[in-house]
Amino acid sequence: MKNKLNRRHFIKTAATGALGLSAASSAFSFNILSQYPLKDKYRVAVIGVNSRGSQHIQAFAKIPNVEIAYICDVDSRARENGIALALKEGVKTAPTGLVDFRKALEDKTLDAVSIAMPDHWHTPAALMALQAGKHVYLEKPGSHNPAESELLVEATKKYGKIVQMGNQRRSWPRVQEAMKELHSGAIGRAYYARTWYTNTRKSIGYGKPAAVPEWLDFELWQGPAPRAEFKDNLIHYNWHWFWHWGTGEIVNNGVHFLDLARWGMQVDYPEKCYSGGGRYHFQDDWETPDTQIATYNFADGKSILWEGRSCNARDINAMGSGVSFHGENGTLELLNNSYKIYDNSNKLVKSAEPTTNTVVDQRGAGFDMDIAHFTNFINAIDKGESQISPYPEIQKSVLLCHLGNISYRTGSALEIDQSSGKIKNDKEAMKLWDREYQKGWELKL
């Protein structure tokens, strides 16, 4: 600690003495001295810890200059489990448990929030955090609809804080290596990418109206969404399959692979999108498609295909999910934290094995390699490190997913403005660009 204090004293003295007070302020604003952090700990609130949020806790607990200050959840059981998990992972002081995360935002010493709430809460919670002066780590997809994505991009720019999307595959070593191979011409000009995700999800049945459990604040769980009655097949995971709160498999998991496809193909917005499919496997309350195909055509002679099968897990290329890139001189298969390159004679040219011995379940989120993605978020705040997944860039990938859903729901092939990603000449489709909010919860920049 003494050495750190001496170093800080030197930095402050050098800045104020050699540059002058006003120049020092300017230097910090341009991040010249950000490589010399002046904080020992960055205080973080983890919001929504019943499922994916538990991995947020595990990741932040491993970062030395992070203090998990709050565990926030509308489920009292999840809060208690989250606090216990933090202590198990080595956190020295038990985080404060809160039902309402907005109370944590009032804490001036809180630096950042980590959001793993249901989709309908992503943008509203992130917007509140930014307006309170906090940095934001935001689970995918970050928005319930395209209008929210646009608003969050504007908010990121307006409030000048770090917003990192939780599409952690961008931080996987072999994924980064594969992208370099693609962009250096390993398969020539890549013109087509195929993405897929499969699972064996079970029927959710037909929900019955029920009393809200004593452990749940259902009013706050609904938050910005228009009010609906509580049913016994909604919480905690099945909300994904209802348009009122969720966004279906393409946004739930497709965003990971469509993002990698867009990154590899070096494209932004498509010129056309068409999606079809349905709820085929079971008859129940599930509203979003369990089987979905979406095609995206880009102006520069490239296309991307998404195939989602929520209830049939037959592999493609021996993997439950992945991306394959096809080009003039061959194919690159990006599977988990590994890849293979084939020439056009189907000869294996290169095989890059995983960088970790831990088996990665492609139907999960690769939790063993999350730490790099979370560390990048903190380092972006602390040292000015370049973000791996800055929201304004990743939002383009999220929009592909939303466009797929809009095409599916309207049955229309969509024409897209490539400068903005907006749908052209289709009033019915644009009705799904945004949503209605519960009175008093409307979003404001």
pLDDT in tens, 259-283: 999 999 999 999 999 999 999 999 9
Q: Could you tell me how many residues make up the chain?
A: 445
> Does position 363 have pLDDT exceeding 70, yes or no?
no
Q: Please provide the distance, in angstroms rounded to a whole number, between the alpha carbons at the two ends of the chain.
A: 41
287-318 pLDDT, tens per residue?
A: 999 999 999 999 999 999 999 999 999 999 98
Q: How confident is the model at residue 356 (pLDDT cuts 50, 70, 90)?
A: low
pLDDT at 284: 98
Distance CA 37, CA 375 (A): 15
> Which CATH class name applies to 170-366+391-430?
alpha beta
Task: Return the higher-pLDDT residue of 35 and 330.
Answer: 330
**Which pairs with CB-CB distance under 8 Å and at least 24 residues apart come from 206-212?**
206/233, 206/284, 206/285, 207/231, 207/232, 207/233, 207/234, 207/285, 208/232, 208/233
Cis peptide before 244 (omega within 30 of 0): no
Residue 325 φ then ψ, to 5° = -110, 135
3-state secondary structure of 194: strand
pLDDT above 80 for 19? no
When pLDDT is cut at 50, 70 and 90, the band that residue 12 belongs to is: very low
Inform me whether the pLDDT recorded for 257 exceeds 90: yes
CA distance 326 to 372: 29
**Residue 135 to residues 64, 152, 281, 343, 391, Cα–Cα distance (Å):** 18, 13, 41, 44, 12
In tens, the pLDDT along 208-251 reads: 999 999 999 999 999 999 999 999 999 999 999 999 999 999 99
In the structure, what pLDDT confidence band is assigned to residue 40 with cuts at 50, 70 and 90?
Answer: confident
Q: Cα(25)–Cα(49) distance, rounded to whole angstroms?
A: 38
With bands split at pLDDT 50, 70 and 90, how would you rate the model's confidence at 122?
very high
Of 4-13, 143-152, 186-195, 389-398, which gets the smallest average pLDDT? 4-13
- Rounded to two decimals, the pTM is 0.89
Rounded percentage of the chain residues whose pLDDT exceeds 90: 84
The answer on pLDDT for 374 being more than 90 is yes
Where are the CATH 3.30.360.10 domain residues in the chain? Answer: 170-366+391-430
Burial label, 164 (beta-carbon count in 10 A; 0-12, 13-18, 19+):
buried
Contacts of 52 (CB under 8 A, 6+ apart): 116, 139, 166, 365
Is residue 295 helix, strand or coil? strand
For tokens 């019943």, what's the residue? 50
The tokens of 157 are what?
């720019």
> pLDDT value at position 149?
97
- Average pLDDT of the residues in 170-197: 96
pLDDT of 354 reads 82
**Mean pLDDT across 168-178:** 94
DSSP conformation letters of 198-248: E--PPP-----B-PPPTTB-HHHHHTTSPP---BTT-TTTGGGGSTTT--H
**Is residue 361 pLDDT above 90, yes or no?**
no
